Amino acid sequence: MRSMIGLLIVAVIGVLTYKYYFSHMEAAGTGTATPMQTIDMAGVKNDLLSIAQAERMYLTDHSSYASLDELVSSGALTMKKTGRDGYTYDAQPSDSTFRVIAHCPTATNPGCTSFVIDQTMEIQPTQ
């Protein structure tokens, strides 16, 4: 009987710990993304890295950065679409810097995050 009560106490502690841990994750916003949203965000981030690499290649040939259309027409970027899963991409080039923004469709997907990459090659969420 004692071992049954001890086992029950351990099980209750385990369930409460599990429930607290996952409710804390969801409150922090880390457990709210669905697997499909996670895959979509990974694809968007890969697209941003590809565009940033194309910007670097264009810079070595032309001594300036370029718009998305110029990147595609020059052959530096072989992207067939200008977005992914509702995200749209926008390049903001200058002679010495660039920013590429992946705009999130907040009207159709509330709570999603827009991302930006620049010449540092670091992807950041936009503010």
- What are the pLDDT digits (tens) for 63-75? 899 998 898 888 8
Round to whole Å and give the CA distance between 42 and 115.
11
Instruction: Report angle CA 119, 124, 127 to the nearest 5 degrees.
Output: 115
> Which value, in Å, is the radius of gyration of the alpha carbons in the chain?
22
Q: What is the 3-state secondary structure (H, E, C) of 90-107?
A: EEEECCCCEEEEEECCCC
pLDDT interval class at 36 (50, 70, 90) = low
Is-contact 101 67, C-beta < 8 A?
no
pTM of the full structure: 0.68
More confident residue, 64 or 39: 64
Q: Give the mean pLDDT of 33-43.
A: 68
